Amino acid sequence: MSARTVILTGASDGIGRAAARILHGRGARVVLVGRSPDKTEALAKELDADFHVADFARLAEVRALAETLLERCPVIDVLANNAGGIMGSRRVTADGHETTFQVNHLAPFLLTTLLLPRLEESRATVINTSSEFNRGARLDLDDLDGERRYSGTRAYANSKLANILFTRELQRRHGAAGVSAASFHPGVVATNFADGTDSLARLTYRSPLKRLMLTPEQGADTLVWLATTPPSEGWEPGGHYVKRRPASTHRLAGDPETARLLWERSEAMLTT
């Protein structure tokens, strides 16, 4: 991967940090994006890499990040939208959106679309980290912020389905211009997932069950594979993968009308 530029969000911990180390070891120029200033800077020093700090719960920081990346990265070979989490109780960001949906979908949607001219010029790969929990989604396009019906688990599942729908609509709209998009499920990985929230998921990640989970390196494997394998030489653009293989998804994930409407609703949410 010599001289290839990989922008990796959620890079300060978990599979993002593991992927950054692996990709750096293979010769990529890794550009780290993380929420924690200390963790992100520490990894950047370890890898002698560029880094940026951005909180995806603040869309102004995402816009500023995109502007900086366009200034500093004349070529973007891979954009890995890996940042995300599960929040538990319903919270609203300063931008007026439910936090899980904003952090997991709206923020990476915004970052990607702001970078699109550069991504097309670079014939880039865009990788979106989703989850097998997408299959439990109950996505309501008229209630994306969960104002009428909300549960932390459902909000997370909806956002992970949104990742897949975004991937497929991105491929439909911009594939001919050079963008190749894919989503993947990393597996259940022993990370600090759900720390700092009141989600019940945090109890699982602090229990003895954590010893049975995948390591961050194992969880990062499919991300690294997508980032280092040319499109159509092992994976098909627009696809969703688990353990380097095509994976089943929620029935709505294959519905082009839902994907189109989600894209349009997302654009509207970012302009109001």
Among 55, 11, 7, 45, residue whose Cα is nearest residue 28: 7
Q: Give Cβ neighbours of residue 94 (< 8 Å, ≥ 6 apart).
A: 57, 58
- DSSP line for 36-53: -HHHHHHHHHHHT-EEEE
The strand pair at 245-246 and 240-242 is best described as: antiparallel
Token look-up 């989490």 returns 85
List of the chain residues with pLDDT < 50: 194, 199, 202-203, 205
- Which residues does the annotation mark as catalytic? 156
The strand pair at 50-53 and 29-34 is best described as: parallel
Return the CA Rg of the chain: 17
- pLDDT at residue 209, as a whole number: 61
- pLDDT at residue 87, as a whole number: 87
* Assigned token pair, 157: 């599942």
- pLDDT at residue 203, as a whole number: 45
DSSP 8-state class, residue 92: B
Q: In what order do the strands lie in the sheet with 240-242?
A: 50-53, 29-34, 5-9, 78-81, 125-129, 180-185, 240-242, 245-246
**Mean pLDDT of the chain, nearest integer:** 92
- pLDDT at residue 243, as a whole number: 95
Up-side HSE of residue 132: CA atoms within 13 Å toward CB? 10
In 115-135, which positions are buried (b, 16+ CB within 10 angstroms) versus exposed (e)? bbebbeebebbbbbbbbbbbb
